Amino acid sequence: MLLSFVIPVYNEQDSLKQLTDEIIANCAPHNYEIIFIDDGSQDHSFAIMEELACQDPNIKVVKFRRNFGKAAALQYGFNLAQGEIVFTLDADLQDNPKEIPKFLDKIAEGWDLVSGWKQKRNDPWHKVLPSRFFNFVTARAFHLKLKDFNCGFKAYRKEVVKELSLYGEMHRYIPALAHSLGYKITEIPVEHRKRIYGHSKYGMERYLRGFFDLLTVKMVTQYAKSPLYLFGRVGLIATLIGTIIAIYLTVLKIFYNQPLSNRPLLFLAITLILGGLQFVSLGLISELIVNRSVPLRPLPVSVEKTVNIQKKEELDLESS
Ligand code: UDP
Ligand code: MG
């Protein structure tokens, strides 16, 4: 069986050699291909990967012209991957390749996506706490019981990665996207090592972006086919409450002759009715857009160089 390892790399020069050795040592008796996606590194990462690829034709390297982000790198690697089972790992050695056989066992049990769970995280508290919160919210938003959505270490049956289409920073929500397509997903505890070389590429801004991506993924997975269900519901409820208040005020005015000029409630009623109607029309417009839209285009990336990647694969990629 062929295993593909898709590895996004952004300035990870010091860990690449050891990572490659560890992967190769842990995937026997299977064949492997390692696909490094150099996401615009400014250090010596590419030169090192190129050297590794020259010694081993199973190692393939794609060099992006600039930094396009982890999701774009993964998506490009997914398109290239030819193995029956596709792994993703971070390049920073925090994921330990000795766990590979455990992932394979789970896939053999019939799961489509096996996600790593960094049970004991070796990261600073200011990363661990927000991440717990992120996982809690995401699990509830998508009705998917995982404790760790954003672990870089995952194994997929090939069909899963061929169907995913990532954009923004949606790599964090891959399990949610796959779940919405009906794939069976499970989780296994994995060892998480401390980062020894280099430094983390994500700071606090990841949580703000992550929140927006949560909204997008929720929208794409649950309401893409019928956005009016979402907007219409909110709009109708608001309009209804506004109308009830307006009727109440009208009764007071007509039957009890109370002035309306000093009633803040009147403004609430107007806002609710107008806002509500806007939501309903937004829903209708979204319906029109959805009904005319073409499938999502892949993330725009620009490739500068490749190593060990044959023309045919590249052509497949262009046409996909
Ligand atoms: N990465 C990437 N492009 C980016 C940022 C990160 O390819 O723009 C890669 C990075 O080299 C690493 C993985 O994504 O292999 C995870 O990044 P990092 O370890 O910084 O994330 P953390 O572990 O802090 O969540
Ligand atoms: Mg890391």
Closest CA to 68 of 169, 152, 162: 169
User: Does the C-beta of 8 come closer than 6 Å to ligand 1?
Assistant: yes
Q: What is the DSSP string of 49-62?
A: HHHHHHH-TTEEEE
- Greatest mean pLDDT range, 85-99, 120-134, 288-302: 85-99
**Quick one: pLDDT at residue 120?**
86
User: What is the rounded average pLDDT of the residues 231-259?
Assistant: 95
* Two tokens, residue 284: 């209708």
Please state the atom number of ligand 1 nearest to the C-alpha of residue 89.
15
Which residue of 65, 70, 74, 200 sits with most ligand 1 atoms within 8 Å of its CB, as the best mutation to test the pocket?
Answer: 70
Identify the three-state secondary structure at position 167.
Answer: coil
Nearest 5°: the CA angle 89, 94, 99 is 60
User: Does the C-beta of 90 come closer than 6 Å to ligand 1?
Assistant: yes
User: Does the C-beta of 202 come closer than 6 Å to ligand 1?
Assistant: yes
User: What is the rounded average pLDDT of the residues 288-309?
Assistant: 78
User: What is the rounded average pLDDT of the residues 160-182?
Assistant: 89
Which residue of 10, 48, 197 sits with most ligand 1 atoms within 8 Å of its CB, as the best mutation to test the pocket?
Answer: 10
Q: pLDDT tens for residues 100-144?
A: 999 999 999 999 999 999 988 888 888 888 888 999 999 999 999
User: What is the rounded average pLDDT of the residues 190-204?
Assistant: 88
Q: Is the pLDDT of residue 205 over 60?
A: yes
- The whole-chain average pLDDT of the chain stands at 91
- Categorize the per-residue pLDDT at 295 as very low, low, confident or very high, splitting at 50, 70 and 90: low
162 with 78: CB under 8 angstroms? Answer: yes
Q: pLDDT tens for residues 47-89?
A: 999 999 999 999 999 999 999 999 999 999 999 999 999 999 9
Strands 59-64 and 303-307 come out as antiparallel
- Categorize the per-residue pLDDT at 296 as very low, low, confident or very high, splitting at 50, 70 and 90: low
Please state the atom number of ligand 1 nearest to the C-alpha of residue 68.
8
d(CA 91, ligand 1 centre) in Å? 7
* Two tokens, residue 64: 């992006």
Place of tokens 């995913």: 164
